[in-house]
Structure 1
Amino acid sequence: MRIFKKEAPPEVQEPQPSEMDRFRVAVREAGMPADVVETTLKEIDRIAKMPSGSAEHTIGVNYLDYLTHLPWNRTTEDCLDLKTARRILDDEHDGLPEIKSRVMEHLAVKILQSERRHNILVVDDEKITRRNLEHVLSRDGYRVNTAANGLEAIQRLNERAFDVVITDLKMEHADGMQVLDAAKRKNPHTEVIVITGYATVPAAVSAMRKGSHHFLAKPLKLDEIRSTVNSALQPKQTRLDHRGPVLCFVGPPGTGKTSLGQSIARSMQRRFVRISLAGMKDEAQLRGHRRSYVGALPGRIIQEIRRSETSNPVFMLDEMDKIGQEFKGDPAAVLLEVLDPQQNSHFMDHYLDLPFDLSKVMFIATANTVDAIPEALVDRLEVIELSGYSEKEKTRIALNHLIPRAIEENGLDRREIGFDTNAVARIIREYTREAGLRGLQRQIASLCRKIALEQVDRENGSYPVTVNKEMVVELLGPPRHTFEVKQAKDRVGVATGLAWTRTGGEIVFVEATKMRGTNQLILTGSLGTVMKESAQAAMSYIRSHADRFNIPDSFFEKHDVHIHIPAGAIPKDGTSAGVTIAVAVLSMITGRPCCREVAMTGELTLTGRILPVGGIKEKLLAAHRAGVRTVIIPAKNSIDLERMGEDMNTSLTIVPIEDLSDAIEKALAAVP
């Protein structure tokens, strides 16, 4: 028959299905929701009537091809093994206990949901039917309760909740319709399946109108009752299992936000998708274009979902704080729908013009700071902060992860190459100055390249190399950074402050000097409005408490005070410099030198109280890198110390204060 069909003349051969018929088959096999199938089939009928050479027909065919290739119902199974997931996260990332704990919590919830047993109530006045249904459904893993009549069933419904109720129609005292009304009144999401030996069309119509899921006639078939129960429970399983969290990793550059998302995807055995939102100014890049012209495309979200070939990937929205805004629309407004678990189950892309379910996607956003993200969008995110790394953490990460990777990437994995711990510490201290790890990774890669060049140039072939701190200077050149705090002397009118920026914590020096004048306050150093107000508040507090600090009354009348913060090309703003400015001014007036190894942060009020500030961990890391020994922080920020590592708490002396007088005693030395 195959040979005959192949060699038969065209008039004898069977007609091949048309393009539209193939689309109809593809639509039914794509796993689309019922309403989407109905709309798509109508679109196919409309396109079939168009001339095949018209531009609108081409647009329609491309549209149907895109619809049928979307993963409407294709998902990957989550790896619900906590040990495997924890091992992957620990192998690829050092530390980060809060984030790893959050991923473990998500997997634990998935495990409990998968083990959840649904409650079913079987109501029938025939004992044999009750026992048979109880036996069959119990073997399928359901928790089954039975009731011999309608009144007993209504009493059970008032006592506890059931996912499915299977009830007979004709019973004494209360029939199946009354059980149906009681179940829907108690919980509208309870599915009711009506069974009866006297099935009639009016009874079935009446039951369906009252909200019955299905109407079955006796004698019951086991396969039929099982499939009906499964279809009744399907919406509940979808609501329970697929709604994913919306995590937002916030931290300085180079702290591993993007790679952490990849590790989460690997630990859950999901596909990983990433798009960068930096500089995105057109709303259509996320929501797509209307199908009004040739070349229209869906938005990036639907495009990446199609490329991943699954409807539940780990989807990373990178650089969320750098979204642009123009007359073409606000892309951040699109994310309000995408990231809302209550709305994204019916996400509308302009190109598709049909609802697509994004509730199965696990969204992860990254940003350097949440300040630039709209408040309504932040409300939809579960913000997890990634601080910078201490020196010990960087050393551990470099030895366990960065160095082995750099050795392999530079072709040295078959040669005896090693790094001394002191060499790594020297690279961290003298060749990098960052909160993250990118600079350290670049310096290690540079060392490996120089070693590779020596290995190739050497006439005797390869030789074992152990990089020590002397070789670091020989290969990388003179140190680029110094301990500006350790190597400086105590000075009058120069206080050490701590600041927080998008790139992590920073050391800030506040300088104050006096000159003859008429009580003017001069502020320089590219200060913002808030910092200028902090300086004015500090001066007002000092002038109002001149007697307390033994300052002559005529000092302010005959002198101008100049406050300067170096690095004037860099804009600076914030409230946390109030304490530092006040200490620098008091040092200048009283002649008591500021201890350079004492750094401070805190907001100062007109009454001398010290208010809490943000970024404490980042500021302490900056103090640790700069060689500070003592850090003065507001007393209300003491709760932030619980997040610090042991190496931070042991290397720094942290002094919580509530009043400016406490800071003066710690920061100012005695008059020489």
Structure 2
Amino acid sequence: MTNFLTVDNDPRSADVRLPLMSLREVVMFPRSIVPLFVGRAASVKAIETALGEHNKKIFLVAQRTPEQERPMPDDLYEVGTVSKILQLLRLPDGTIKVLFEGLYRATWSPAGGFDALDGDLEDDVFPMADVERIVDAGLDSADGEALVRATHDALEEYGKINKKLAAETISAITSLTNPGRLADSVMPHLKVDYVKKQALLEEIDPSKRLEETFALLQGEIEIANLEKKIKTRVKDQMESNQKEYYLNEQLKAINKEMGREEDPNQEIVEIEKRLAEKVMPDENREKALREIKKLKQIPPSSAEYTVVRNYVDWILDLPWNVCKETSLNIEEARAILEEDHFGLQKPKKRILEYLAVQSLVDTMKGPILCLVGPPGVGKTSLSKSVARATGREFVRLSLGGVRDEAEIRGHRRTYVGALPGKIIQSLKRVEFNNPVFCLDEVDKMSMDFRGDPSAAMLEVLDPEQNYSFNDHYLDMDYDLSKIFFITTANSLHSIPLPLQDRMEIIQLPGYLETEKKQIAKQFLVPKQIEEHGLKPENLAISDNALMEIIRRYTREAGVRNLEREIAAVARKSAMKLVEDGDLEQSLKITKQKLPKLLGVQKHSYGSKEDAPQVGVTTGLAYTQLGGELLMVETALMPGNGKIEITGKLGDVMQESVKAALSYIRSRSDLFGLKRDFYKQIDIHVHVPEGAIPKDGPSAGITLGTTLASALLNIPVNNELAMTGEITLRGRVLPIGGLREKLLAAHRGLIKTVLIPKENTKDLKDVPKAILRDLTIIPVENMDEVLAHALVCADPKSIFSGKDAEECPISASLMKTDEVIEQTH
């Protein structure tokens, strides 16, 4: 065991060797009993050794630095107290509670350090110390007696202030007349720093020790008296506040009884001042005054006070009649719209018309424009440009996934946590009552048990009603007519018809390849160069590379994925500049470098069939992503008349299959088919990409053509696509989304497109570049469709079941030839 060196080698003046235990911020005095909690392993081991080998005696000495876990000899004071262990109690957490009794002062010498110290001490190793007893010096009896009496009086006074000091303890201490013993008995009860206590422990003159103890006792009495005064003052202040509150409540009650309800607090004065400065309708001001009057009568500590205060704050924070001055310069607005967007001539024209009208009239009800188009064509960004062109603030609110009517109209104030609707919240945020308000994804709203938010939007978007929009939380009319509302949607069919009726629909179709190239060169490439920390001279993408990205790496109506691919090129270019360490080099991106930068091609350019196939027809469909080519296949098998329809088709397309089959059966004689041909075969109609839902009323003639091709064993022209609905009599009905479908046909390298004759009026919206590359054939009935679509030397041979004179196809072909000459 590691030991401390002895202080004095004279065995007559030294006690037997005792275990040493260091104390943190505690000083043990002789003739005092102190309980201590012991947790350090070395201290626990020292106590156990003292109990077993040293007659319960142990040497207690204070640490100079309490934070040290395992102090070295120089870290301990040289004077301590030899103590006796009276009682020991082990606690569940591993610590022990020990009751020590101080016996006498003793000294030891830490100069020698630990014997045979070769490394770090183990946790349970404790030092042994040879201690030498300290004997008190002589004492002047006259001075000592006076000091003892003064200490007795001071201790009794301290006991009256400190209630924690028991009367029995005071009586026991005041019975002592020896100065040294009296000082040692008083010190453990004083709340002084352990350093001062250690200094008194080292004092061997009893007179000086008692004198210092008396001084410390007087200081504790002064501190205790000061604490008492502070507590008394705080208590009096609390009683004063309670008294003031009680009197205020009484004053309110008296004022209420006497009808004198003025005398509001400062907060009410500030609210009234804000209301006086607020520009708002008179009826709304009167309601706000009524709420402020109610606020005066409610105690501030009441929960209702907070509810009314929040309501008044909402009224005062809204921009009732605060409108931002707008710009009405048509030429500047046109320049801004052209600068921000390529193409989109129709929406730009409509916006400029609105500005022109506003420059002529003082007031005009805000228009409700609905921009409908596939994702990525610039609907939301166009709304931002409108705000910039008109000098208005811009607010955007996404309605995607909104199910609760309260999000539009607000919650009634009777509910906990009620708030106004999103419309009112947005106006508070923008601080003006005439912003450009973009309602994104208006077609994505849904309904549940909490109401129908689209019904609430009827009042918001109706120019005849929104001047008096009533929010449930405000419960007062708010004028929304000055707001320029712009809504966006991907498709119209999911917008309720009453809501469509409130809006002016502007279609934003997909872009042509040439338009995409111009958008990339003018907008997307410079934007990505800047966002990736590049300079314009660092990166150049050739026109062929841009066209390759458009055709082989994206397939979309908009330019969102195109921008993503250009960002990938810019990102990899930035990586190369950093790796090469040359930030000034210029990188030229050509078509040949794209596979290394963007990987393998994601799409094939043109997805038409390589050659005419029997039972395979190319249709045209309109989806939320724009126009798409729709391949329809039909297979015939021996059977008993069963019809199988696959490809995740909706109810409308399944009905179109049945209508097409009924049309062929009704004209079986004309086609040269047996009347009961369908009873001997099974028909399987399939539209590939089965994981994608497909529905709509524009695939009827496509389904009829593929059925006729399979039944007549005549291939379908692979250079031709078609769109149109079919009736049981074979009549071709008009469809929607013609522009998008023709764009899809152009992307797919289709040369000829069959469209319903009633849709020829929509060709004026199709770009001339598309019409130059496509042959558009209007058709009125299914006979014309088959004559153009099926590949045979003589179209009349398709109807070989009867004489040609009985077949209306000849006259129909003559009519369509005239239309082809006009459109191609």
In 2, the alpha carbon distance for the partners of 1:444 and 1:622 equals 22
In 2, the alpha carbon distance for the partners of 1:413 and 1:325 equals 49
Cα distance, 1:57 vs structure 2: 1.4
Q: Is residue 2:444 matched to residue 1:322?
A: yes
In 1, the alpha carbon distance for the partners of 2:663 and 2:778 equals 20
Structure 2: unaligned runs, 5 residues or longer = 1-262, 795-824
**How do 1:532-543 residues align onto structure 2 when only pairs under 5 Å count?**
532-543=654-665
In the alignment, what sits opposite 1:104? 352
Which of 275, 291, 296 is residue 43 of structure 1 equivalent to? 291
- Contact 1:30–1:73 (CA<8 Å) still a contact in 2? no
Which of 564, 576, 582 is residue 454 of structure 1 equivalent to? 576
In the alignment, what sits opposite 1:403? 525
In the alignment, what sits opposite 2:556? 434
Cα distance, 1:21 vs structure 2: 2.1
In the alignment, what sits opposite 1:270? 392
Cα distance, 1:487 vs structure 2: 6.1
Alignment-mate amino acid for residue 660 of structure 1: M
* Deviation per residue, 1:287-311 (Å, 9 max, x gap): 2222336633221111110111100
In 1, the alpha carbon distance for the partners of 2:379 and 2:776 equals 29
In the alignment, what sits opposite 1:178? none
SS in 2 for 1:547: helix
In 2, the alpha carbon distance for the partners of 1:332 and 1:486 equals 41
In the alignment, what sits opposite 1:55? 303
In the alignment, what sits opposite 1:510? 632
In 1, the alpha carbon distance for the partners of 2:560 and 2:513 equals 14
In 1, the alpha carbon distance for the partners of 2:750 and 2:790 equals 15
In 2, the alpha carbon distance for the partners of 1:98 and 1:484 equals 29
In the alignment, what sits opposite 1:171? none
In the alignment, what sits opposite 1:630? 752
Cα distance, 1:661 vs structure 2: 2.3
In the alignment, what sits opposite 2:702? 580
Q: Is residue 2:534 matched to residue 1:412?
A: yes
Q: Is residue 2:194 matched to residue 1:72?
A: no
SS in 1 for 2:485: strand
In 2, the alpha carbon distance for the partners of 1:81 and 1:45 equals 47
Which of 714, 723, 740 is residue 618 of structure 1 equivalent to? 740
* Deviation per residue, 1:470-507 (Å, 9 max, x gap): 11122111111013535622211101111111221111
Which of 348, 360, 375 is residue 497 of structure 2 equivalent to? 375
Indicate the structure whose relative CO is greater, using CA pairs within 8 Å and at least 6 residues apart: 1
Cα distance, 1:624 vs structure 2: 1.4
Alignment-mate amino acid for residue 342 of structure 1: E
- Contact 2:618–2:702 (CA<8 Å) still a contact in 1? yes
* Deviation per residue, 1:549-588 (Å, 9 max, x gap): 2334564342222211112222222221111111112222
SS in 2 for 1:263: helix
* Deviation per residue, 1:117-176 (Å, 9 max, x gap): xxxxxxxxxxxxxxxxxxxxxxxxxxxxxxxxxxxxxxxxxxxxxxxxxxxxxxxxxxxx
SS in 2 for 1:631: strand
* Deviation per residue, 1:313-355 (Å, 9 max, x gap): 1111111111121211221121111111222112222222222
Structure 1 runs (4+) greater than 6 angstroms displaced: none
* Deviation per residue, 1:354-401 (Å, 9 max, x gap): 221111111111111121222211111111111111111111111111
In 1, the alpha carbon distance for the partners of 2:651 and 2:264 equals 76
SS in 2 for 1:548: helix
**How do 1:135-146 residues align onto structure 2 when only pairs under 5 Å count?**
none
In 2, the alpha carbon distance for the partners of 1:277 and 1:528 equals 26
- Contact 2:608–2:618 (CA<8 Å) still a contact in 1? no
Q: Is residue 2:639 matched to residue 1:391?
A: no
* Change in CA separation of 1:354 and 1:631 when aligned onto 2, cut-off 3 Å: same
* Change in CA separation of 1:551 and 1:485 when aligned onto 2, cut-off 3 Å: farther
Cα RMSD for the two superposed structures: 1.9
Q: Is residue 2:353 matched to residue 1:94?
A: no
In 2, the alpha carbon distance for the partners of 1:553 and 1:57 equals 85
* Change in CA separation of 1:303 and 1:553 when aligned onto 2, cut-off 3 Å: closer
In the alignment, what sits opposite 1:236? none
In 2, the alpha carbon distance for the partners of 1:352 and 1:545 equals 67
In 1, the alpha carbon distance for the partners of 2:744 and 2:491 equals 17
Cα distance, 1:419 vs structure 2: 1.4
In the alignment, what sits opposite 2:594? 472
Q: Is residue 2:401 matched to residue 1:279?
A: yes
Larger Rg computed on CA atoms: 2
Cα distance, 1:654 vs structure 2: 1.3
Q: Is residue 2:611 matched to residue 1:489?
A: yes
Alignment-mate amino acid for residue 480 of structure 1: K
- Contact 2:264–2:296 (CA<8 Å) still a contact in 1? no
In the alignment, what sits opposite 1:352? 474
* Deviation per residue, 1:99-128 (Å, 9 max, x gap): 0111011101101114xxxxxxxxxxxxxx
In the alignment, what sits opposite 1:444? 566
Cα distance, 1:460 vs structure 2: 4.3
Cα distance, 1:425 vs structure 2: 0.6
- Contact 1:485–1:596 (CA<8 Å) still a contact in 2? no
- Contact 1:593–1:671 (CA<8 Å) still a contact in 2? no
Cα distance, 1:423 vs structure 2: 0.7
Which of 277, 290, 302 is residue 29 of structure 1 equivalent to? 277
In 2, the alpha carbon distance for the partners of 1:642 and 1:31 equals 50
* Change in CA separation of 1:339 and 1:460 when aligned onto 2, cut-off 3 Å: closer
- Contact 1:518–1:560 (CA<8 Å) still a contact in 2? yes
Cα distance, 1:55 vs structure 2: 1.4
Alignment-mate amino acid for residue 388 of structure 1: G
In 2, the alpha carbon distance for the partners of 1:293 and 1:544 equals 65
In 2, the alpha carbon distance for the partners of 1:587 and 1:314 equals 54
Cα distance, 1:602 vs structure 2: 0.7
Structure 1: unaligned runs, 5 residues or longer = 1-14, 115-240
SS in 1 for 2:735: coil
Q: Is residue 2:583 matched to residue 1:335?
A: no
In the alignment, what sits opposite 2:161? none
* Change in CA separation of 1:49 and 1:461 when aligned onto 2, cut-off 3 Å: closer
* Deviation per residue, 1:594-652 (Å, 9 max, x gap): 12121111111222221111111111111112221111111111111100112111122
* Deviation per residue, 1:241-299 (Å, 9 max, x gap): 14100111111111111111111111100000011111111122222222336633221
* Change in CA separation of 1:294 and 1:588 when aligned onto 2, cut-off 3 Å: closer
Give the TM-score of the pair, scaled to structure 1.
Answer: 0.77
In the alignment, what sits opposite 1:312? 434
In 1, the alpha carbon distance for the partners of 2:634 and 2:649 equals 14
In 1, the alpha carbon distance for the partners of 2:448 and 2:663 equals 45
SS in 1 for 2:710: helix
In 2, the alpha carbon distance for the partners of 1:293 and 1:542 equals 63
- Contact 1:287–1:298 (CA<8 Å) still a contact in 2? yes
- Contact 2:376–2:560 (CA<8 Å) still a contact in 1? yes
- Contact 1:319–1:366 (CA<8 Å) still a contact in 2? yes
- Contact 1:597–1:629 (CA<8 Å) still a contact in 2? yes
In 2, the alpha carbon distance for the partners of 1:252 and 1:20 equals 53
In the alignment, what sits opposite 2:678? 556
In the alignment, what sits opposite 2:377? 255
* Change in CA separation of 1:332 and 1:557 when aligned onto 2, cut-off 3 Å: closer
* Change in CA separation of 1:445 and 1:591 when aligned onto 2, cut-off 3 Å: same
- Contact 2:376–2:558 (CA<8 Å) still a contact in 1? yes
- Contact 1:592–1:671 (CA<8 Å) still a contact in 2? no
In 2, the alpha carbon distance for the partners of 1:553 and 1:64 equals 80
* Change in CA separation of 1:487 and 1:395 when aligned onto 2, cut-off 3 Å: farther
Cα distance, 1:52 vs structure 2: 1.7
Cα distance, 1:459 vs structure 2: 3.9
In the alignment, what sits opposite 1:18? 266
In the alignment, what sits opposite 2:26? none
Cα distance, 1:417 vs structure 2: 1.6
Alignment-mate amino acid for residue 556 of structure 1: Y
* Change in CA separation of 1:486 and 1:601 when aligned onto 2, cut-off 3 Å: closer
In the alignment, what sits opposite 1:463? 585
* Change in CA separation of 1:60 and 1:556 when aligned onto 2, cut-off 3 Å: closer
Alignment-mate amino acid for residue 99 of structure 1: P
